[in-house]
Amino acid sequence: MIVAATRLGILRSSAQSSRVSSTGEPATKSGTSTFFGPLKQIDAGLLNVGYVEAGPANGPAVIFLHGWPCDIYSFVDVIPLLASAGYRVIVPYLRGYGTTRFLSSEAFRNGQPAALAVDVIALMDALKIQKAILAEFDWGARSADIVAALWPERCKATVSVSGYLIGSQEAGKMPLPPSAELQWWYQYYFATERGKLGYSENRHDFNKLIWKLASPQWNFNDATFDRTAASFNNPDHVAIVIHNYRWRLDLAKGESKYDELEKRLAASPVIPVPTITLDGDANGAPHPDANSYAKKFSGKYTRRVINGGVGHNLPQEAPQAFAKAVLEVDGY
């Protein structure tokens, strides 16, 4: 850990920073990395998963999980920081993104959170990773929270943007204050066939709008968005996204094989592994109030706000702050 922290410190000192975190550390040097190296593919559970890997093969494993509407490029500037610090970094495309494909054309294109969490376990099994640090945001944070709660023996620690995100269909039936409901406008749009067609035909511009709303102070350029937007051309993307949001409102059914997991998740289980939660000070996406979930973490727990206009795509907007949290939680 001392060596890793020293290496990360050297990287920080050589980087210009446009934002400052609440701890006074450089919060971002976004956009310095543009290339991962070759994509890999591996059969894992129901999927053939596309992923990138960096760092020593025998290093401690860190798995980064992206959200919607993002992809593995959310971690493009974080990967070299952790790989150079000696970690084996794995960044997969979620089902419905990039080069990840279902092994069977007959498989149900299921976007329910339990299914995506099982994908994480299947990938770890395929890569022969018994235990890993999970670091993530948005859909990825939801999946990692589920893994940490239901399979804590597979999760050494977690860094989670926006806190505790485990939900259920029952919880989704409860109305929110009007201002909160307004933030979920796209969830209701996706509940309609017009919304499904609109997303299918306009996914590039739709998702670019989501980026702007979720990170209103992030001045990303077209090239940055377009390299991620290519992953939305996955043939299963629309089906997975629409099912995910309809499932949350109990407008679409999941698969019975996940029923037992959903029962456990409906009880809002605590997360026993060491955790750092991160929030950008300019997060425009729907997210829970920090006071509502602090007691959901029974292990060592820290919450940190990253200041300087950081929005929802925190790993990409503030990669150094994100990498620092991974290093810190590994020492808990």
pLDDT in tens, the chain (332 residues): 444 444 444 333 333 333 334 444 434 456 666 667 789 999 999 999 999 999 999 999 999 999 999 999 999 999 999 999 999 999 999 999 999 999 999 999 999 999 999 999 999 999 999 999 999 999 999 999 999 999 999 999 999 999 999 999 998 899 999 999 999 999 999 999 999 999 999 999 999 999 999 999 999 999 999 999 999 999 999 999 999 999 999 999 999 999 999 999 999 999 999 999 999 999 999 999 999 999 999 999 999 999 999 999 999 999 999 999 999 999 99
| Bridge partner residues of 96 (DSSP) | none
Instruction: Specify the pLDDT at position 36.
Output: 77
Q: For residues 247 and 262, what is the distance between their CA atoms, to the nearest angstrom? A: 12
Helix or strand run (H / E) with residue 224: helix 222-229
Q: For residues 255 and 267, what is the distance between their CA atoms, to the nearest angstrom? A: 19
Pick from 3, 91, 109: nearest CA to 47:
109
Helix or strand run (H / E) with residue 164: none
Alpha-carbon torsion angle 207, 211, 212, 218, nearest 10: -150
Q: For residues 86 and 57, what is the distance between their CA atoms, to the nearest angstrom? A: 9
Phi, psi of 253 (to 5 degrees): -85, 155
- Tell whether the torsion through CA atoms of 267, 170, 162 and 8 is positive or negative: positive
DSSP state of 46: T
| Bridge partner residues of 301 (DSSP) | 275
Pick from 248, 277, 286, 281: nearest CA to 134:
277
Instruction: Specify the pLDDT at position 299.
Output: 96
Residue listed under structure tokens 């406008």: 185
Q: For residues 24 and 149, what is the distance between their CA atoms, to the nearest angstrom? A: 32
Q: For residues 329 and 43, what is the distance between their CA atoms, to the nearest angstrom? A: 30
Query: 75: burial class by Cβ within 10 Å (0-12, 13-18, 19+)?
Result: buried
Instruction: Specify the pLDDT at position 32.
Output: 66
* DSSP-derived 3-state class of residue 238: helix
Q: For residues 136 and 150, what is the distance between their CA atoms, to the nearest angstrom? A: 17
The CB density around residue 1, as the number of other CB atoms within 10 Å, is: 12
Q: How many residues does this entry show for the chain?
A: 332
pTM of the shown model: 0.91
Phi, psi of 161 (to 5 degrees): -80, 135
Residue type, 246: R
Q: For residues 312 and 96, what is the distance between their CA atoms, to the nearest angstrom? A: 21
Residue listed under structure tokens 């000070």: 281
Instruction: Specify the pLDDT at position 19.
Output: 38
Helix or strand run (H / E) with residue 280: strand 275-280
Helix or strand run (H / E) with residue 172: helix 169-172
